[in-house]
Structure formats: structure tokens, C-alpha cells
Amino acid sequence: MSVTSVPVDAVLFDMDGTLIDSTPALVAAWSEFCKKYDLDYDYVVNHCHGHRAVENFRRFVPSLTEEECEAEAVNFENRIIELAREAKQSGEKHKQITAIPGASNLIEEIKAGKPDSVKTQPWAIVTSATADYAAEVFDNASVSSPPKTFVAADHVSAGKPDPQPYLLGAELAGTHAKRCLVVEDAPAGAIAGKRAGAQVIGLRTTHNESERLWEANADYVVKDLTKVHAHWEGEQMYIDVHSEAKPSSVANQASL
């Protein structure tokens, strides 16, 4: 495992699966909607992550009108929130929304070392979730106070793997995507980050197979955020990545 220090202006985090883990509520909600529309649950769960909810309903239930897709996307996110609240009220910790290991510590390292002279926002969230949903579940997970730059699904016309969300995130943070490091757990998000021109860390928090992230052209792959740290040298932030080695099979494919 190698350690690389990457100089960046800002870190652009995906949210679900990257900073927070809402898996129990998410899969429970998909189970309900798959039964409602007679969908293949395993297929949906394996292909939904990293995409906006409205886009998932467009893909998985093509018989729905655009208006119906938008309504079901709202219903879906509301159901996740309901399930998470129920788990919190009942004390079922294994069903609650929690912080990804290392997330709070990394954000604290980013914020703690920032000099007042640096005007760029050093971290941001760029999520495929809607703004209302994202604010609710991020607060629920108690990761950190929210960043000043928070890009959600309703702020863009095209979701990941389109680069638009990350291009907007970099712009709002006060820099260019080429000076950013994207942190993602979904192949679609990793592709979006690379298309925006950023370097990308892939997390094995949702898809444990690192090969899927390498194939999405992630620059680094780690188990979770305990393998990522931040430090400042004057006005320059560095992200220290303890990356796994890229498999030779993926490296060979990239060279073809």
C-alpha cells in the first residue's frame, strides 16, 4: 500500500456511501418500491447507486411519465428519511444513518489547518440526492456541520456520470475541478469526477470490489476514509492517500 500526498485546493465529497452510510434504510426503501413495480431487487440495488433518484425511476420504470418519476423520487427519499427516523426512535442502531469510518476526522483535519488567508472553500459535498433530503440525512449522521458549498440533484440539469455536478462544486468552492480531489464510492461518480478533470479517490464502502472503481478510472482506491488524511503546509492543503495498488489486469486494460 503506497502513500501519496496530493496538493489540492478543495476536496469534493459525494455524500451517501462516502461520508454517510444509509444502507439499511436505502435497501429497505428499494425493497418496497421494487415490490410496488415488480422490479428485480438485486438488479436495482446493484445499479442504482450514484444516480439521482429521478433518473433511477426513469431507467427502472420506463412506463412512468416524467411527472410521475419526479413524484416517486420525492416519495422514495422521504421513505428513507422515515425509516431512518423510525430506527433512531426505536434505538435500532444497526438500521440508523451513520458516519462512514474516518469521515469526521478527515473533515476536521481539513478545517482545522486552513489559514484565514485562504479564501477557497476547502471541502464541499456534491451529491445525487435532492437538497432537502441531503440536508436531513447529513444532519442525522452527525458527521460534521455542513459545508458552505453543498451541490445537490436539484442544482444541476444532468446528474452523475455527467461532470456537471463536480464542475459546479469546484466553481462554488472558488477553484477549478483540476485543482480538486473527488471522493466517491460509486463508479458513476468516479467517472463524473474524472470527466470534470479532477483526481478521484474511490472508496470500497458500497462496492467492495475495488476493480469496479479502478475501471471507472479512479486514481486511488481505499477501503474507507480512515485511509485518507489531510494536512496543510502554509496555504497549501495536501491530502494523504494510503491507496491500494491497481490490479495488473486493470492497468493492462487501460494501456490497450
- Concerning whether 240 is annotated as a catalytic residue, the answer is no
What are the distances in angstroms from CA 168 to CA 12, 53, 157, 172, 251? Answer: 10, 19, 11, 6, 30
Helix axes 66-90, 23-37, angle to 10 degrees: 140
Of 9, 16, 21, 219, the active-site residue reads: 16
| Contact between 156 and 209 (Cβ < 8 Å) | no
- Report whether the peptide linkage leading into residue 161 is cis, meaning its omega lies within 30 degrees of zero: yes
Q: Measured between alpha carbons, how far is 108 from 15 in angstroms, rounded to an integer? A: 16
Are the beta carbons of 30 and 44 closer than 8 angstroms?
yes
Q: Are 216 and 202 in contact (CB under 8 A)?
A: yes
What region does 50 belong to: left with phi over 0, alpha with psi -120 to 50, or beta?
Answer: left
Active site residue 154: no
Long-range residue pairs from 200-204, CB within 8 A, at least 24 positions apart, any chain? 201/228, 201/239, 201/241, 201/243, 203/17, 203/18, 203/100
Q: Which of 14, 21, 185, 219 is catalytic?
A: 14
Q: How far apart are CA 155 and CA 173, in angstroms?
A: 15
Active site residues: 14, 16
